[in-house]
Structure 1
Amino acid sequence: MLNISFPKLVMIWLTVVVGLVFAMPNAFYSRVETHNDAMAIIETGQTNAALQEDASLWPEFLPSGLVNLGLDLRGGAHLLVEVQVEDVHASFLEGFWPTVRDALAAERNSVGFVTREDSPPTELRVRISEEAGATEAFQIVRGLATPVASFTGAAATNIDVSIDGTLLTITLSEAEIVAMNERTILQTLEIIRRRIDEVGTREPTIQRQGSDRILVQVPGVGSANEIIELLGTTAQLTFNPVVGRTAEADASAGTGNIVVPALDEPNVFYIIERRPVVTGEDLENAQLDFDQNGRPAVGFRFNTSAAREFGDYTLENIGSPFAIVLDNEVISAPTIQSHIPGGSGIITGNFTVEEATNLAVLLRAGALPAELEFLEERTIGPELGADSIAAGQVACIVAGIAILVYMMLSYGLFGLFANIALVINVGLIFGLLSIVGATLTLPGIAGIVLTIGMAVDANVIVFERIREELKTAKGPARAIELGYEKALSSIIDANITTFITAVILFTMGSGPVSGFAVTLGFGIITSVFTAIFVTRSLIVIWFSRTRPKTIEV
């Protein structure tokens, strides 16, 4: 007997209603987007009349999730950057020199005096004065090596040491270079992601390309320069003791010191100690602030250990200047007026509000471990995206109308039921995309258009089976029931194979391929649901009310 229990009917249509409710915000895209942006700002504690007005554009009790538009639909910035991993190698060797110097100096009686020789960035060359102590010096430096922190290089050490007379040459081992490059790329990916997320852009694409390149696609920004300015600063912040000031860039700095230019003072250079007191890696928070004169500044707070170190330093050096250095430029060099025990303060300078906000974003996100070289940059205008959306809409409408007409002409009233299910199917696809926060791209639209064509396949199989059963002189109720029963296995088999293909495309592909796979996969799920449950429930409701003696499919 053709029948669906009342609880099952309720569950079917409750699922339909929930899906369509979640899809509904996409019909009012601009209004809901404005509401969401306003709510995001209000949640940070800022509010005004304009924000409240924007927030009221959409009821808070309704879902406000939207299908994010990809770069090809919304416009935005496309960048391909190369991470200068060699900078990290040179930085490691630079930081390794004090360790080598101290270790050899402890055995001065046998190795003599220790001096550093000029060398390329990929090497650290150290000369000792006593040739008789060369072997001992070699063993001492070899003893400073540590195991490589990676699975592939577990049996290797991080440095290679060679000796030629009294000259020791230290380089990174191959295993350490591979491991260090991998760590650098992963760290750079995370910091780029944090920086872009901090400024509130929607659904950026940040993924690795090859061994040392990163693809960055950010929809919705006005130009690629905005992202370049955000990513182009390494944001390496240090707090260094000041030795003196000079007007000469090539002034003698002395052992352990470096000469650094002042950011806002032309022809002014600071001689600072190379080793900082604390660094930006010790920051716990940074945000826009204002100094005592109401000028924009950046407030910061150190973590517990760094706050203790900073507090001890300020206590011991009251009256002495210290430099706040950002990317090898002194942005401020205040004099320590008193003990600063809390580990917090402000960075002042000739900042605008925007510059101070961006600096706070960079400091919160962390310093890039290496510089980035921008190999490719493109700004994609929103007009191209608007054309793509319009073309996609036309394709969906044409495909939809053709399917609707065909189904009505081929199957009459049952075709009407299939058409209703088809419309619901498209709504459910957008509901699912909104729930998971997926990004819709041009290939994704192609996936939806393909789904519209495929959505009626299951209904066609069922209706043809019902036709076959009607020819055997069974009653209409039994024919409908058998039609669904016998068509079910074919529907499941056909859609499972296509769904497996979508999963493989999503897993193995990237970018546009993944976008196509997502909409195709969701379309298969909703198509099977609407064909097996929604269309059947419409037929059951109609049949239970009319009780026809005969039916035509």
Structure 2
Amino acid sequence: MEGGVCPSLSGKVRMRANQKRLIVTVVVFVAALLPLLIPHGSAPAGSSFIDKLAANIKLGLDIKGGALLEYQMLTDVSDQEMNALADRVIEVLRARLDAAGFTEATVEKVTTGISFGEDIPPVRVRVQIPGITDVSRAESLVGKTGRLYFADVLAIETSVSTPSIPAGMSLEISRRKLQGAEPYWVKELHYGEYVGGVQNNTWYFISPKVSIGSSYAELDGSVVTDAKPLVNNQPRPGQGRFMVSLKFSSEGAKTFRDITSVKSTYADTDMKKRLAIVLDDRVIIAPLVQSQISDGNAVIEGLNSIEEAKEVSILVGSGNLPVDLASFNKRVLSPTLGRDIINSSLWAGVAGIVIIMIYMVVFYKKMGIVADIALLYNAVLLFGMISLTGSILTLPGIAGIVLTIGMTVDGNVLIFERIKEELRLGKTPENSIDSAFSKVVWTIFDANLTTILAGLVLFYFGTGTVKGFAVTLIIGVVGAMFTNIVVSRTVLTGMAGSLKPHRYVEVETEGRDAR
């Protein structure tokens, strides 16, 4: 056949392309479905399988409730200065919670202008963390009250009570007392918790100033400018595969260089080689210093899980609190919205989806069924990503989901109308689908890109529920774009033989006759 493409060859190319799209569609669907079907949430012991699956989606304060913590600031400054301190405390706690994935948590300043006859602090900080019913866990996420500093390790003991002073250390203790670095016992961060059926009873005998030869150096958490969890592709034999990277300020890098230059000279079996990172009265971690670090970039190796790496990076990287805090109030919260409001909102969302699906089938027939398939596919994709990323779902987040459903349908309407126009031009269904997608794909991409950019702005500048809305919006719009361009085309190409072009030609002819 001259001057054209062999129909059989074109059909084979189209079939191979659609097979590739089908494989991608199935792989993405399975990848999104697994986080929903494999229980990995925090369902209570003895829960049913359905409850465990439901726990895969974290719910916000407005739907599920959570934990409330209130702290008072231990300072004698004026009310004006106390307000400024509270703002800084909020920044640090907000950073810690965001890094832990609790972007829906609320951190706010509470002022009391009226005396109730009780010792109520005039300014306090309130933290509300959704989905957590264990107050002690909530406190560990906040990082307790927080002075973060580096310290020498003189001894490590295992005991259910405070150990006695190690033998043969009197001279060292006396020498450090003269330098204002008197050692004391502190517990490991997870002291008292059970891991693998064994209780953690680890104590560290530490000195708050680090020895560098004949002098001592102080290094607190304010010099750490960044901390990130990483995967170690080449771990040391017998060590974990995870690590934390630390970045120091220029001033902190100099002190850290001096400390590591001394500690790196000791043998691995020597306690002086360890450098403890301490938060208040708990040791977060006490790694061995393997080499001198001169560029201000350090790595803590040997962590056993990504959760441990995240915890260390959060506590170390969020910085010092500007003032000591004391717990003022802590309790478990019920959902902030009533059950009736939550149920009615959820049913409204379900009703809206059902109405849209019926509308698409009534007005677009078989192509409307394709739109409904795309709609359900994007819903699975969206909830799968929420479960996989650990994002917290709130009612504003549900609003973002409903909005993305509209985006999915809107993209399919553009595609269907273009296919109808191509059919009216006398093209075959296969060619009409190819032509329609080639002309509409960039329109869909541009329209969704502007929405994604708006969502990124909301996520970057917003906090709490605004971020939750932005997360579901971005995930949903990206899913809608993929669904429209890949999934819908795969299904439409597969059912191209069942489309009846004459129906659309007749509609066009009737329109001309009427004119």
Partner residue of 2:451?
498
Alpha-carbon distance in 2 for matches of 1:549, 1:190: 58
Alpha-carbon distance in 2 for matches of 1:426, 1:550: 34
Normalised by the length of structure 1, the TM-score is 0.50
Contact kept, 8 Å, 2:87 with 2:109, in 1: the verdict is no
Contact kept, 8 Å, 1:32 with 1:57, in 2: the verdict is no
Alpha-carbon distance in 2 for matches of 1:494, 1:192: 35
The reply to whether residue 33 of structure 1 matches residue 41 of structure 2 is yes
SS at match of 1:444: helix
Out of 392, 397, 415, the residue aligned to residue 350 of structure 2 is 397
Alpha-carbon distance in 2 for matches of 1:460, 1:191: 42
Contact kept, 8 Å, 2:145 with 2:326, in 1: the verdict is no
Partner residue of 1:20?
29
Out of 431, 454, 474, the residue aligned to residue 478 of structure 1 is 431
Question: Measured at CA, do residues 548 and 67 of structure 1 come closer, stay the same or move farther in structure 2, by a change above 3 Å?
Answer: same
Q: What is the identity, as a one-letter code, of the residue corresponding to 2:415?
A: V
Partner residue of 1:434?
387
Alpha-carbon distance in 2 for matches of 1:530, 1:204: 27
Partner residue of 2:419?
466
1:380 Cα deviation (Å)?
2.9
Partner residue of 2:460?
507
The reply to whether residue 299 of structure 1 matches residue 299 of structure 2 is no
CA-to-aligned-CA distance 1:246-295 (integer Å, 9 cap, x gap) = xxxxxxxxxxxxxxxxx9xxxxxxxxx99864367x969455379xxxx9
Contact kept, 8 Å, 2:183 with 2:206, in 1: the verdict is no
Alpha-carbon distance in 2 for matches of 1:13, 1:303: 62
Question: Measured at CA, do residues 359 and 210 of structure 1 come closer, stay the same or move farther in structure 2, by a change above 3 Å?
Answer: closer
Partner residue of 1:327?
none
Question: Measured at CA, do residues 289 and 393 of structure 1 come closer, stay the same or move farther in structure 2, by a change above 3 Å?
Answer: closer
Alpha-carbon distance in 2 for matches of 1:286, 1:503: 35
Question: Measured at CA, do residues 489 and 187 of structure 1 come closer, stay the same or move farther in structure 2, by a change above 3 Å?
Answer: closer
Q: Which runs of 5+ in 1 are unaligned?
A: 38-49, 88-120, 122-176, 240-262, 264-272, 310-340, 344-357
Question: Measured at CA, do residues 22 and 75 of structure 1 come closer, stay the same or move farther in structure 2, by a change above 3 Å?
Answer: farther
1:410 Cα deviation (Å)?
0.4
Question: Measured at CA, do residues 363 and 192 of structure 1 come closer, stay the same or move farther in structure 2, by a change above 3 Å?
Answer: farther
Question: Measured at CA, do residues 286 and 213 of structure 1 come closer, stay the same or move farther in structure 2, by a change above 3 Å?
Answer: closer
Question: Measured at CA, do residues 23 and 492 of structure 1 come closer, stay the same or move farther in structure 2, by a change above 3 Å?
Answer: closer
Out of 478, 482, 489, the residue aligned to residue 525 of structure 1 is 478
Contact kept, 8 Å, 1:286 with 1:300, in 2: the verdict is no
Out of 129, 132, 143, the residue aligned to residue 221 of structure 1 is 132
CA-to-aligned-CA distance 1:76-98 (integer Å, 9 cap, x gap) = 124565655667xxxxxxxxxxx
The reply to whether residue 417 of structure 1 matches residue 370 of structure 2 is yes
1:72 Cα deviation (Å)?
2.0
1:219 Cα deviation (Å)?
2.1
Partner residue of 1:110?
none
Q: What is the identity, as a one-letter code, of the residue corresponding to 2:41?
A: E
Contact kept, 8 Å, 2:103 with 2:467, in 1: the verdict is no
Contact kept, 8 Å, 1:447 with 1:520, in 2: the verdict is yes
Q: Which runs of 5+ in 2 are unaligned?
A: 1-6, 111-122, 152-161, 163-176, 194-198, 214-269, 273-279, 287-314, 508-515
Contact kept, 8 Å, 2:135 with 2:332, in 1: the verdict is yes
Alpha-carbon distance in 2 for matches of 1:421, 1:190: 37
The reply to whether residue 189 of structure 1 matches residue 88 of structure 2 is no
The reply to whether residue 288 of structure 1 matches residue 191 of structure 2 is yes
The reply to whether residue 203 of structure 1 matches residue 102 of structure 2 is yes
Question: Measured at CA, do residues 287 and 459 of structure 1 come closer, stay the same or move farther in structure 2, by a change above 3 Å?
Answer: closer
Partner residue of 2:244?
none
Give the 5 Å matches for 1:245-260.
none
Partner residue of 2:182?
278
Contact kept, 8 Å, 2:86 with 2:109, in 1: the verdict is no
CA-to-aligned-CA distance 1:423-479 (integer Å, 9 cap, x gap) = 101111112223332221210011111222221111111211222333333333333
Alpha-carbon distance in 2 for matches of 1:473, 1:188: 65
SS at match of 1:33: coil
Partner residue of 1:167?
none
Alpha-carbon distance in 2 for matches of 1:469, 1:6: 20
Partner residue of 1:133?
none
SS at match of 2:426: coil
Contact kept, 8 Å, 1:204 with 1:217, in 2: the verdict is no
Contact kept, 8 Å, 2:103 with 2:463, in 1: the verdict is no
Alpha-carbon distance in 2 for matches of 1:289, 1:308: 33
Contact kept, 8 Å, 2:68 with 2:330, in 1: the verdict is yes
The reply to whether residue 540 of structure 1 matches residue 451 of structure 2 is no
Question: Measured at CA, do residues 296 and 404 of structure 1 come closer, stay the same or move farther in structure 2, by a change above 3 Å?
Answer: closer
SS at match of 1:72: coil
SS at match of 2:203: strand
Alpha-carbon distance in 1 for matches of 2:378, 2:431: 27
What's the C-alpha RMSD, in Å, of the aligned pairs?
5.5
Q: What is the identity, as a one-letter code, of the residue corresponding to 1:300?
A: Y
1:484 Cα deviation (Å)?
2.5
Instruction: Please say which of residues 483-492 and 408-417 is displaced more in the overlay.
Output: 483-492
Alpha-carbon distance in 2 for matches of 1:493, 1:26: 30
SS at match of 2:455: helix
Out of 451, 476, 482, the residue aligned to residue 404 of structure 2 is 451
Alpha-carbon distance in 2 for matches of 1:288, 1:359: 11
Normalised by the length of structure 2, the TM-score is 0.53
Contact kept, 8 Å, 1:206 with 1:215, in 2: the verdict is no
Question: Measured at CA, do residues 376 and 297 of structure 1 come closer, stay the same or move farther in structure 2, by a change above 3 Å?
Answer: closer
Partner residue of 1:104?
none
1:416 Cα deviation (Å)?
0.7
Alpha-carbon distance in 2 for matches of 1:390, 1:64: 16
Contact kept, 8 Å, 2:94 with 2:107, in 1: the verdict is no
CA-to-aligned-CA distance 1:171-206 (integer Å, 9 cap, x gap) = xxxxxx99x969974995399659x97xxxx73756
Partner residue of 2:56?
66
Alpha-carbon distance in 2 for matches of 1:7, 1:503: 36
Question: Measured at CA, do residues 210 and 454 of structure 1 come closer, stay the same or move farther in structure 2, by a change above 3 Å?
Answer: same
Partner residue of 2:262?
none
Larger Rg belongs to: 1
Alpha-carbon distance in 2 for matches of 1:363, 1:385: 43
Alpha-carbon distance in 1 for matches of 2:29, 2:358: 24
Partner residue of 1:337?
none
Question: Measured at CA, do residues 391 and 227 of structure 1 come closer, stay the same or move farther in structure 2, by a change above 3 Å?
Answer: same
CA-to-aligned-CA distance 1:311-343 (integer Å, 9 cap, x gap) = xxxxxxxxxxxxxxxxxxxxxxxxxxxxxx968
Partner residue of 2:510?
none
1:530 Cα deviation (Å)?
1.1
1:421 Cα deviation (Å)?
0.9
Counting matched residue pairs gives: 358
1:502 Cα deviation (Å)?
1.6
